Amino acid sequence: MMHRRMTIVSFLILVAGPLAVMAQPMGEPPMGPGLPGMSPPAFIENVFPPSLIMRHDTEIGLTDAQRDAITKQMEDAQKALVSSQWDVERESQKLSKLLEPPHIDDAAALAQIDQVMKAEEKLKKAHLTLLIQIKNILTPAQQEKLRQLRPARGRF
C-alpha cells in the first residue's frame, strides 16, 4: 500500500507540468503571461485531475475497485508521460540554443518550434487520454460531486 501511494505521489508530481499548461489561471496562456484574455480550454472543465479525486475520495464515495482502476491507469500512463516530458525538454533546449545568438536563423528556429510543438502535443494527448480514462471510471454522481468540490475555473 505504501509503494502504491508513493507511485501515485510521484506520478502527480510528474503530471503537474502538463496540467499547469492546460489549466493556467485566467489571463495566463500556456507559454506564460503576455496575451491578455487567454483562459484554459473549456474542455478542461469536463475532466477531473487525479489530485482532486484523491483529495475528495471519501466525499465522492470512491470504491476500492475504482481506486485500484485509477491507480492502474496512472501507473500505465506514467511511462508515456515521462518519455514525453523528456522529449519536450530536449526539444525546448534545442530551441533555446537557436534563440541565443543576436541574429536568429529563422528557418532553423521555426523548424525547431515545430519539433517542440509536436513533443508538447504528444505529452498533452497522453495526459488527456489518462484524464478521459479516469473520468470513465467514475459514476455520473461522483462526477457531479467533483464538479461541486472543484475550485474555481482554471484552478485544479
Q: What is the pLDDT of residues 66-109, one digit of tens each?
A: 999 999 999 999 988 999 999 999 999 999 999 999 999 999 99
Q: What is the mean pLDDT of residues 129-147?
A: 97
Predicted TM-score (pTM) of the model is 0.71
Hey, what's the torsion of the CAs at 85, 86, 92, 94, to 10 degrees?
-170
Tens digits of residue pLDDT in 22-39: 443 322 333 444 456 677
Tens digits of residue pLDDT in 36-68: 667 778 888 899 999 999 999 999 999 999 999
Side-chain half-sphere of 15: how many Cα atoms within 13 Å? Answer: 27
